[in-house]
Amino acid sequence: MVEGTVAVTGAAGRIGTAVRGALRPEVSRLVLLDRTPLRPEADNEETLTVDLRDETAVESALTGVDRVLHLGGLPDEAPLADLLDANVLGTHHVLEAARRRRISRVVLASSNRLTGFHPAGQLTGPGEPPRPDSLYGVSKVAVEALGRLYADKFGLSVICLRIGSYEQAPREPRHLSTWLSPRDALGYFRAALSAPATTRFATVYAVSANTRRFWTLPGRQELDYTPVDDAEAYAEQIPGAQAPVDPSAPQGGAFATPEFTLRHLRP
């Protein structure tokens, strides 16, 4: 159970919308930030139209907040300048507001794409070095580095969630390894927001309990949540699900191909 005043950035997005409905009955006040205007849907909701690149506006919006779930930013590949502006600078502003306003917990939405060049045959944990599969993955390396810096230097409590493929159900063979079900996503978010204050910094893969998963599940000492869904239940419905996987191929799949990034680079 998450209590107190919780802020959610990127609240108009797919994940933000789901989190909003789940947290609303649990918290005393829910502060929802997005560049897209939102309207309150309950007495305990406050909606604010905020661009995360505006440091003053971010700090003002987070005044009186106990915990922040930072989902805002560009969610996929883009020119590096745009990713640095939205993802890295925006995260810095959230962390700065947390430092200045003495916010007790910041949960950062990281991504599995931060390690997408590790091989598919390797069970990868958060202790492995970053091997981003994209410019987007590079921006998430920087996001986690900022979280670590603010935990080490300023004593903030920061948890980074490397979010898997968030879908209602897996739709392609790669999802059999990377799927994050909506139910498990909410479980991870709740656990990260309500983890003990003694948790100074943690990085975990937020992925369902997929039989074919690429990543380790968190231990209780890292985050007290055990996922319950398994993409394998959908395998018979996915074309190509039984095709053998090259264990040396990148976990990022198509995200790791040159073509995925070249469209955002000069010819």
Burial of 88 (0-12, 13-18, 19+ CB in 10 A): buried
Look up 234 and say whether it is catalytic.
Answer: no
The number of beta carbons lying within 10 Å of the beta carbon of residue 152 is 12
The whole-angstrom separation of Cα 149 and Cα 223 is 20
The whole-angstrom separation of Cα 202 and Cα 159 is 5
The whole-angstrom separation of Cα 222 and Cα 40 is 34
Helix locations, 117-243, DSSP H:
135-154, 175-178, 182-194
Catalytic residue among 136, 166, 188, 205: 136
Q: Which residues are catalytic?
A: 136
